[in-house]
Structure 1
Amino acid sequence: MLSKAQIEAYNEVGAIVVPDVLTANEVRTLSEVTNGFVERARGLTGHTDILDLEDSHTADNPRVRRIKAAHLHDPAYAALTRHPKIIAVLQDLWGADIRFDTAKLNMKCAGFGAPVEWHQDWAFYPHTNDALAAVGVMFDDMAMENGPLMIIPGSHRGPTFDHHADGVFCGAMDPSRNDVDYTKAVPLTGAAGSITVHHVRAVHGSAPNVSDRDRRLLLFQFRAADAWPILGFPGGIEAFDALMVAGRPSEPRLAAAPVRLPLPPATLQGSLYENQKGMKTRFFASSAPVGSDRVGQVSAREPELAR
């Protein structure tokens, strides 16, 4: 699936975009399923075990920002955990043995989709080695104006930054610490049916959607079979091995990687969006227009991550 240049880009930047992974029919089916979940939010007054709602959600005007563990709630989502093209991409990066973790559908609806503050996935779930990545499946065309995922190039080879506020995990980096140069961020843009792949240690975030177009990204967490979670797996080894989607289970491989544990746990549980409410200083204004001083500064660089 991947060319030598794509593999080199992933290793250098920490992320790539792979076009034309899903067909138009596959994207259409996934969009229709997602519309049905949004409609289920009508009448709700708070989050559920499945749906995470925008702060501006009302019972009469449903606004969903995340479908939690999406693969558990519809076979169209679940099928993507073993999609042959997605698995082939990961095998090009890690080898034959691939284990799934979980999934979530992050939705930034037109005009109000919430931002995600800068963070590293590694801060949430460190493993025995860092052969992990998130695969994002684009249901919509993604450009700067509708809040695509953005990556700080090369940050996957640096430190694990502090994701705490007042000593409590909050799932985000404090931008006032100037840990990284956010002006170097690159957007992962592309057409519906493309996928993004970003390294577990890559610093990433996304601005609010201020366009008139939706931005729905179904994110799957995958890992090489020899990457075992440091915080354990409460379902037991049988459940852990049941998450294999290609190849065979493996013993854990220990590799040097900087680790910070997400403890004490975030004050607000439920989703990353809730965790990040514990922040003291935010980077993204909730409704700042693209091109403003705070949001526009991160759109300066657009290298070719898709080939």
Structure 2
Amino acid sequence: MLSPDQIAFYRENGYLMVEDAVNAEQLARLREITYDLIEKSRGVTESGDVYDLDEGHSAERPRLTRIKLPHLQHPYYWEVLKTSRMTEVLTALLGPDTALQTSKLNTKAPGGGAAVEWHQDWAFYPHSNDDMLAFGLMLEDVDQANGPLQVIPGTHKGPVLSHHAPETGRFCGAVDPDDPLFDVDKAVTLTGKAGSMTVHHVRTLHGSAPNLSDRNRLILFYECRAADAWPLVGSASYAKLAQGGGQALWDHFAEHIITGNMTMEPRATAVPMRLPLPPAPDAGSIFKTQKSGGARSVFTPRERAPA
């Protein structure tokens, strides 16, 4: 369970580091499943519903940016979320009724695995309230060299910065490096041993540099919400679900409850928001959104080093 000091730190800074979020057995099983999925990607030649391929991917040298929705690719990713210390952290920060927003397994390959440009998750999917967060469970050790997550403390209390490309006005999923409200010099780098977990608020500015090491950087992300935080118009993922009608949307929410119960009474709070519209030409993942949307890079050509 989190201590009062840890909870207070998260509330004030918008992020937290938690050690030993899973036990040794759980970590070993997650690694086994993940490396098996990477191995199976050798026969894949283009990005699809399971894999986002990185530049240079081949059968001889599999290189991925992401395994999509891992909780749908293998049931253990869902099981471990509900049976590990992660559940205790979740309820301590969001309350007894919680749900999974989405999941992803960012698999930055060695030798230049793709950067994730600076952004706020909130820009992608505004909800009726912002009691939402992301867990980043480290499946391998993460250090300065292999593209660790970086956050800017306190930005969860500030505005939602523009994530639209100035040239086109389209949503590009990243902030402009020249935005006067964006101060990367205040960034904190989050490193840790395998089994450790980062936590960041849905409005916290964050990003990660390319993986310049000779090791994988495997981080399993769970994006979670309080059950009474309901999505607003504009989120591409919910737009697809809504095409199936109200029952499909309801069933989806019910299937993604982690702890407690659903509610039909959304809680609305006064939070800043921008809609992610018009969408990028390719919104299949954050990598594709940032690339096709014309996001400007903080990491190149400026080549900023982690703080």
For the criterion TM > 0.5, the same-fold answer is yes
For residues 43 and 294 of structure 2, what CA distance do their matches in structure 1 show?
Answer: 30
For residues 159 and 15 of structure 1, what CA distance do their matches in structure 2 show?
Answer: 17
Deviation at 1:280, TM superposition (A): 4.7
- Between stretches 233-242 and 220-229, larger displacement belongs to 233-242
Deviation at 1:80, TM superposition (A): 2.6
Q: 8 Å contact 1:170–1:267 — kept in the other structure?
A: no
**Gap runs ≥5 in structure 2:** 243-247
Deviation at 1:176, TM superposition (A): 2.0
Match of 2:270 in 1: 256
Match of 2:280 in 1: 266
Of the candidates 188, 209, 227, which is equivalent to residue 190 of structure 2? Answer: 188
Q: 8 Å contact 1:81–1:100 — kept in the other structure?
A: no
For residues 239 and 145 of structure 1, what CA distance do their matches in structure 2 show?
Answer: 38
Deviation at 1:22, TM superposition (A): 1.1
For residues 178 and 213 of structure 1, what CA distance do their matches in structure 2 show?
Answer: 35
User: How does 1:134-213 map onto structure 2 within 5 Å?
Assistant: 134-165=134-165, 166-213=168-215
1:70 aligns with 2:85: no
Match of 2:245 in 1: none
For residues 191 and 50 of structure 1, what CA distance do their matches in structure 2 show?
Answer: 27
For residues 223 and 43 of structure 1, what CA distance do their matches in structure 2 show?
Answer: 35
For residues 134 and 255 of structure 1, what CA distance do their matches in structure 2 show?
Answer: 20
Of the candidates 189, 213, 216, which is equivalent to residue 214 of structure 1? Answer: 216
1:36 aligns with 2:36: yes
Q: 8 Å contact 2:174–2:295 — kept in the other structure?
A: no
Deviation at 1:84, TM superposition (A): 3.9
- Between stretches 228-237 and 60-69, larger displacement belongs to 228-237
1:16 aligns with 2:16: yes
Q: 8 Å contact 1:16–1:188 — kept in the other structure?
A: no
The TM-score, its normalising length taken from structure 1, stands at: 0.91
Matched to 1:282, the amino acid is S
CA deviations 1:84-116 (Å, max 9, x no partner) are: 411111111121111112210001122221110
Deviation at 1:294, TM superposition (A): 2.9
State the SS of the aligned residue for 2:34: helix
State the SS of the aligned residue for 1:212: coil
Matched to 1:211, the amino acid is S
Of the candidates 221, 229, 232, which is equivalent to residue 230 of structure 1? Answer: 232
The TM-score, its normalising length taken from structure 2, stands at: 0.91
Over the aligned positions, Cα root-mean-square deviation in angstroms equals 1.5
Q: 8 Å contact 1:7–1:93 — kept in the other structure?
A: yes
**Gap runs ≥5 in structure 1:** 287-292, 300-307
For residues 275 and 220 of structure 1, what CA distance do their matches in structure 2 show?
Answer: 19
Q: 8 Å contact 1:116–1:206 — kept in the other structure?
A: yes
For residues 47 and 93 of structure 1, what CA distance do their matches in structure 2 show?
Answer: 35
Deviation at 1:10, TM superposition (A): 0.6
For residues 73 and 120 of structure 1, what CA distance do their matches in structure 2 show?
Answer: 26
Q: 8 Å contact 1:124–1:171 — kept in the other structure?
A: yes
CA deviations 1:145-193 (Å, max 9, x no partner) are: 1111110110000001111112111111110223221011001211101
Q: 8 Å contact 2:175–2:295 — kept in the other structure?
A: no
1:113 aligns with 2:113: yes
CA deviations 1:239-295 (Å, max 9, x no partner) are: 212321111222100001111011111112211001011225211138xxxxxx733
Matched to 1:273, the amino acid is F
Match of 2:303 in 1: 294
